[in-house]
């Protein structure tokens, strides 16, 4: 009998995005077969070279992931966990015949349904402009005009990468506590998902995490 279990490639640009992704699949879709690709030079190269030179690299990563297979079972879908590369990810979506999910796509869809005042928080400052533009574009397509409040948890990512996860979570919660009243807060990086519980406890906000939203959407798409 042929194996019909979905096989999903996950492409990462930060090592810190891996565990939140694996946790989201373990909690939300443990049956899915996932495998991982990593290029952690991408954030640095984005800061130095900008987006345009990275598009072809993302296309190569996407094509490699799509062509990976075990026996006769090829990749069914691709999930990117790297939030700051929207235009490059859209190019991959347009080029491949299988479902390709951008990291914030599902979270933004959920946030737009949750209310008018939406918070968007990251710990990597350059991710904010493309993510805000992506959410606005999605909102316009739905005939919506939400108020989007952004924040950067300065120093949180550096603390996480230095092996101080508790400091990362504290900085994230403190940053969220300074936000104005919101209907929903999107944690716009996979690596921020670990701070969601502390943020909820400190602020009482409705918090949406990107990996959990992505797993929910992938499961709907591949099971439909």
- Mean pLDDT in residue range 200-209: 97
Percent of the chain exceeding pLDDT 70 equals 97
Residue 113: pLDDT over 90? yes
Residue 142 — very low, low, confident or very high, per pLDDT cuts 50/70/90?
A: very high
Query: Are 110 and 204 part of one and the same domain?
Result: yes
Query: Are 53 and 90 part of one and the same domain?
Result: yes
In a domain, 2, yes or no: no
Mean pLDDT, the chain, whole residue set:
93
Residue 220: pLDDT over 60? yes
3-state helix/strand/coil string of the chain? CCCCCCEEEEEECCHHHHHHHHHHHHHHCCCCEEEEEECCCHHHHHHHHCCHHHHHHHHHHHHHHHHCEECCEECCEEEECCCCCHHHHHHHHHHCCCCEECCCHHHHHHHHHHCCEEEEEECCHHHHHHHHHHHHHHHHHCCCCCEEEEEECCCHHHHHHCCCHHHHHHHHHHHHHCCCCCCEEEECCHHHHHHHHHHHHHHCCCEEEHHHHHHHHHHHHHHC
Instruction: Please give the radius of gyration of the chain, using alpha carbons only, rounded to the nearest integer.
Output: 17
Residue 71: pLDDT over 70? no
Residue 69: pLDDT over 90? no
> Cβ(148)–Cβ(120) under 8 Å?
yes
114-133 in b/e burial notation, b at 16+ Cβ within 10 A? Answer: beebbbbbbbbeebbebbbe
- Mean pLDDT in residue range 113-134: 94
Distance between CA atoms of 173 and 193, rounded to whole angstroms? 12
Residue 4: pLDDT over 80? no
Query: What CATH number is attached to the domain comprising 161?
Result: 3.40.50.1860
Tally of structural domains, the chain: 2
In a domain, 199, yes or no: yes
Query: Are 146 and 206 part of one and the same domain?
Result: yes
Domain that holds residue 45: 7-103+212-223
pLDDT at 1: 45
Could you report the per-residue pLDDT of 42-57, keeping only the tens digit for each?
A: 988 988 998 888 999 9
Angle at 106 between CA 159 and CA 93, to 5 degrees: 100
pLDDT at 70: 59
Residue 73 — very low, low, confident or very high, per pLDDT cuts 50/70/90?
A: confident
- Which residues neighbour 60 within 8 Å (Cβ) at sequence distance 6 or greater? none
Residue 149: pLDDT over 60? yes
In a domain, 1, yes or no: no
Could you report the per-residue pLDDT of 178-198, keeping only the tens digit for each?
A: 999 999 999 999 999 999 999
pLDDT at 86: 82
């Amino acid at each position: 009998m042929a194996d019909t279990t979905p096989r999903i490639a996950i492409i990462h640009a930060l090592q810190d995005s891996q565990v939140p992704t694996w946790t989201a699949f373990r909690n939300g879709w443990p049956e899915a077969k996932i495998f991982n690709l990593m290029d952690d030079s991408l954030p640095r190269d984005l800061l130095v070279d900008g987006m345009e030179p990275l598009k072809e690299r993302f296309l190569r990563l996407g094509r490699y992931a799509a062509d990976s297979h075990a026996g006769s079972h090829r990749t069914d879908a691709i999930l990117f966990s790297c939030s700051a590369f929207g235009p490059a990810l859209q190019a991959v979506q347009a080029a491949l015949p299988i479902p390709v999910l951008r990291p914030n796509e599902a979270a933004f869809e959920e946030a737009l349904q949750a209310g008018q005042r939406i918070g968007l928080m990251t710990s990597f400052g350059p991710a904010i402009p493309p993510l805000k533009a992506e959410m606005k574009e999605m909102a316009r397509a739905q005939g919506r005009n939400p108020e989007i409040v952004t924040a950067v948890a300065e120093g949180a990512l550096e603390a996480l990468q230095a092996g101080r996860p508790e400091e990362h979570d504290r900085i994230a919660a403190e940053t969220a506590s300074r936000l104005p009243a919101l209907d929903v807060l999107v944690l716009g990086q996979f690596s921020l998902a670990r701070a969601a519980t502390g943020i909820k406890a400190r602020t009482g906000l409705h918090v949406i995490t990107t990996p959990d939203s992505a797993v929910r959407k992938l499961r709907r798409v591949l099971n439909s």
